[in-house]
Amino acid sequence: MVLRITIFIVAALLFMSHDYWFEARPFVLSAGEEAELHLWVGDDGHVELERTLEKGMTPSFRMYHGEEVVDLLASGKEGDRPVAKVRLTEPGHYLVVMERDFAYISLTRQEFLDYLKHEGIADDKRLLDHMGGREKQRERYARSVKALLYVRDGKGMPPTPSGPWRRVYGHPYEIVLLNDPYALRGGGKLHVKVLRHGLPVAGKKVMAQHLPEEDFREIVAVSDREGSATFDLPEGGMWLVRSLDLNPCHHCDTIDWESHWASFSFFVPL
C-alpha cells in the first residue's frame, strides 16, 4: 500500500509538469558521430527529471532515415538513460518517434482548473460542463514524442521539400512538420499540422517553445480547418512544438477524461 501511494504521488507531481520531449545531444552531427536521446519531463523548458526507457509503457520507439527503420525499443534495455544512443552514418534527416501508453491520474478540482488555465483552455465551456461538481477529476493520458536530427553532408543544408518530418503515423494525436526546420538557418517560418488518427484537427492550440529554460520563450498559434499552424521563429537553437488534445471520456467507467499530448523537437541552425 505504501508503495502504491508513493507511486501515485510521484505520478501526480510528474503530470503537473505537463510535457515530455526529446533532446538530442547533439541534434546536428557529422557522419559517424553518436547522438544521445534524452527524454525529459518538465514544463516551460524547466526539466523536472529524465525518463528512462520503460518498455511496458512504450508501444513503439523507432528511428526513420529514408527507407531504413531502426527499432530502438528492441535494441534498448529496460531502464536505459538516456533512452537511446544512436550512431548515424549517412547524411540526411533522422526522425525519432516514440509512443507512450496511457498513464492514470486523479486531480483535485482546483488542480484541474489550474491545468486548463496553463494550457489556455480554461474558458472552454465543453470542458467546464463536463467537470460538473466533481471534486476529483480522473484522467488517462498518452503521448506522441518526436525529434528530428540532421547529419551534415558537407554541401550545406539546402531547403528540402519533403522528408521524414512529414510522415504521418496515425497516432491518436500527433504533430507533423510541413517544412524542413534545418533549412531555416537562424529563424523563419515553420509550418506544422496537428492530426487525430491521421486526420487534421481544427481549433487546437499549438505552442512553439524555444529551449532551454534560461532562454525560454513561447509562441502560440491555433490550427486552422486543415489542422495547420504557422510560426515565425525569431532565431535558431532548440525548439519544441507541443499540443494537447483533451476530451471528456463519455464511454469510460472509471475515468472522466482522456488526453493525448504531442511534442516535436528539433534544432534550427544558428
175 has a pLDDT exceeding 50: yes
The parent domain of residue 167 ranges over: 2-268
> pLDDT tens across 64-79, in order?
999 999 999 999 999 9
Rounded CA-CA distance 259/247 in Å is 6
Contacts 24+ apart (CB under 8 A), 111-117: 111/16, 111/137, 112/137, 115/16, 115/18
Counting the structural domains of the chain, the total is 1
Pairwise pLDDT comparison (217 vs 18), residue with the higher score: 217
Q: How far is CA 190 from CA 88, 94, 232, in A?
A: 25, 18, 6
Q: Look over the chain and give the mean of its residue pLDDT values, rounded to a whole number.
A: 92
Cell 490550427, residue located:
223
Rounded CA-CA distance 89/77 in Å is 22
178 has a pLDDT exceeding 90: yes
**Where are the alpha helices (H) located in 16-108, listed in sequence order?**
72-75
**How is residue 240 annotated by DSSP?**
E
β-partners of residue 46 are: 43
User: pLDDT class for 121, splitting at 50, 70, 90?
Assistant: very high
